[in-house]
Amino acid sequence: MGRFNLSRRIRALPPYLFAELDRKKQEVRARGVDIIDLGVGDPDRPTPRFIVERLKREAAVSANHQYPSYEGLPQFRTAAAAWYKERFGVSLDPGNEVVALIGSKEGIAHFPLAFVNPGDVVLVPDPGYPVYHISTMFAGGKSHFLPLERENGFLPELAKIPAKALAKAKILFINYPNNPTSAIADRKFYRKVLAFAEEHDLIVAHDVAYTEIYFDGVKPMSILELPGAKKRCIEFHSLSKTYNMTGWRIGFAVGNPELVGGLGKIKTNVDSGVFQAVQGAAIAALTSGQDAADAIRRTYQERRDVLIPGLRALGLDPVMPRATFYVWIPVPKGYTSASFCEHLLTRAGIVTTPGNGFGKSGEGYVRIALTKEKGRIREALDRMKRVGL
């Protein structure tokens, strides 16, 4: 390196999964290949027009041009609480049980800083969203990884966590509907999680960014629906997937007021909140966006119902997604996650995501995102058939 040495925490980072994917993608595109990108989970359709129009009106209001409140506009937090009540039957106090986020990723990344001391353990799903581990590391904590296996419905086996790890554990991260496996969890599992957390005095941090991308009419639940869950649980929600708002960077965390407040203390020191015009548009989404969310769900289910039979016809054995817009697929015999992704990219011009980028237990799988139109999905299937697996 040159004169300036990166910190140890930065040097310890693995390459960020999607940055590495982007680099390889650019190499193939430079060769003139027509790429079908089924890698990163970014909705391909625009934000619903009524949300965009609301932003235009809010952006013209001069009061919105000043610093926003750190915790979010009262009106936004009230809308988030009302949405939770309508969707999950969960009552929340907008004053101290809801905080606005610059997207749920930001909240997840900052949360361990509020509660984890150096040497503390955080229980992290594997495979899982990389930010759970990275945020733990930035806070000086140590991740203990919980394997998610197909034969167990991609649910962690809590009874197998070693006593040594539990003795120092502070937070249990869970994520259902799950990225990358697409699994969902039921009430029985959440009861088990809550009892386990109470026994070992754990904080439960639940990433619920995908609860509104569900299929076949089966609605995923919130752990906060369980009696007593608010004593030790926080949930991180996002408007990104529900309303095609990934670039808008707005979400919210809800739950135990001490947990929400601790996260809020971090945020007051590192950011200045969400642009109030964006919060105004988010209020419109939360209060008037059900029809739009229904249409978005139908689109992904239609795409799923094209992709899954096509993959099976090729001899693959995909996990049937019940939620999220991802399909989790075991790689064919003779491939690793990385080599199969490279095969699809270099031979067929198809971008997929290697499962090992989500953790050791993701090896042997690839993830495909349902973020292209049905015609492009069919074309991807045809290309796979032509190049062979």
What does the pLDDT look like over 270-281, one tens digit per residue? 999 999 999 999
CATH number of 61-289: 3.40.640.10
Q: Where in the chain is the domain with CATH 3.40.640.10?
A: 61-289
CA 83/CA 77 separation, integer angstroms: 10
* pLDDT tens per residue, range 193-243: 999 999 999 999 999 999 999 999 999 999 999 999 999 999 999 999 999
- Predicted TM-score of the model (pTM): 0.96
* Calpha distance 104→84 (Å, rounded): 16
Assigned CATH topology for domain 8-46+291-387: Aspartate Aminotransferase, domain 1 (3.90.1150)
pLDDT value at residue 13:
85
The CA distances from residue 239 to 208, 255, 309, in Å, are 11, 17, 30
Comma-separated ranges of CATH 3.90.1150.10 domains in the chain: 8-46+291-387
Query: Tokens 């988030």 map to which residue?
Result: 80
- The strand pair at 203-207 and 169-174 is best described as parallel
Tell me: the pLDDT tens digits for 314-339?
Answer: 999 999 999 999 999 999 999 999 99
Angle, CA 97 vertex, CA 271 and CA 280 arms, to 5°? 60
Q: What average pLDDT does the chain have?
A: 96
